[in-house]
Amino acid sequence: MSGKEVFYQGNEACAEGALYAGCRFFGGYPITPSTEVAEFLSHRLPKAGGAFIQMEDEIAAMASIIGASLVGKKSLTATSGPGMSLKLENLGFACLTEIPCVIVNVMRGGPSTGLPTGPGQSDVMQAKWGTHGDHPAIALAPASVQEIFNETVRAFNISERLRTPVILLTDEIIGHMREKIIIPEEGELEIWDRPRPDCPPEKYLPYDTSKGIVPPMADFGSGYRWHVTGLNHDASGFPTNKPSLVQPEEERLLAKVTENIDIIEKYEYFKKDGARVGVVAYGSSARSAKAAVRQAHEEGVPVDFLRPVTLWPYPVKPTVEMAEKVDVIVVPEMNLGQMIDEVQRCIEGRAKVVGVNRVDGDPITPENILEKIREVV
Partner 1 sequence: MAFNYDHYMRPGKLPHIWCPGCAHGIVMKAIIRAIDKVGLEKDRTVIVSGIGCASRMPGYVDFNTLHTTHGRSLAFATGVKMADPTLNVICVAGDGDALAIGGNHFIHACRRNIDITMVVFNNNIYGMTGGQFSPTTPHGRFASTTPYGNPDYAFDVVELSMGAGATYVSRGTVYHAVPLEKQVADGITHPGFSVIDALCTCPTTYGRRNKLGSATDMILWFKDNTVGIKAAEKLSPEEREGKILTGVFREVIKPEYCQEYQKIIEMAQGK
- Give contact residues for partner 1 (rule: CB under 8 A): 24-25, 27, 43, 46-47, 49, 51, 53, 55-57, 59-61, 63-73, 75, 89-90, 93, 220-223, 225-231, 238-239
Which residue number, 148 or 217, has a Cβ lying nearer to partner 1?
217
Which residue number, 222 or 247, has a Cβ lying nearer to partner 1?
222
Residue 293: how many other CB atoms lie within 10 Å: 28
Which residue number, 18 or 347, has a Cβ lying nearer to partner 1?
18
Which residue number, 43 or 180, has a Cβ lying nearer to partner 1?
43
Which residue number, 89 or 265, has a Cβ lying nearer to partner 1?
89
Give the DSSP H/E element, type plus range, for residue 352: strand 352-357
DSSP string, 281-331: --HHHHHHHHHHHHHHHHTT--EEEEEESEEES--HHHHHHHHHH-SEEEE
Which residue number, 37 or 41, has a Cβ lying nearer to partner 1?
41
Partnered with residue 54 across adjacent β-strands are 28
Which residue number, 24 or 256, has a Cβ lying nearer to partner 1?
24
Least Cβ distance, residue 119 to partner 1 (angstroms):
30
Least Cβ distance, residue 221 to partner 1 (angstroms):
5
Partnered with residue 332 across adjacent β-strands are 356
Least Cβ distance, residue 163 to partner 1 (angstroms):
16
Partnered with residue 173 across adjacent β-strands are none
Distance of CA 279 to the CA centre of its chain: 21
Determine whether 373 is exposed, middle or buried from the number of CB atoms within 10 Å of its CB (0-12, 13-18, 19+). buried
Pairing type for strands 328-333 and 277-280 reads parallel
Least Cβ distance, residue 232 to partner 1 (angstroms):
12
Least Cβ distance, residue 56 to partner 1 (angstroms):
4
Which residue number, 10 or 130, has a Cβ lying nearer to partner 1?
130
Residue 244: how many other CB atoms lie within 10 Å: 7
> Cα–Cα distance between 280 and 57 in angstroms, integer?
36
Determine whether 319 is exposed, middle or buried from the number of CB atoms within 10 Å of its CB (0-12, 13-18, 19+). buried
> Cα–Cα distance between 67 and 179 in angstroms, integer?
34
> Cα–Cα distance between 172 and 119 in angstroms, integer?
5
Tell me if residue 216 falls in helix, strand or coil.
coil
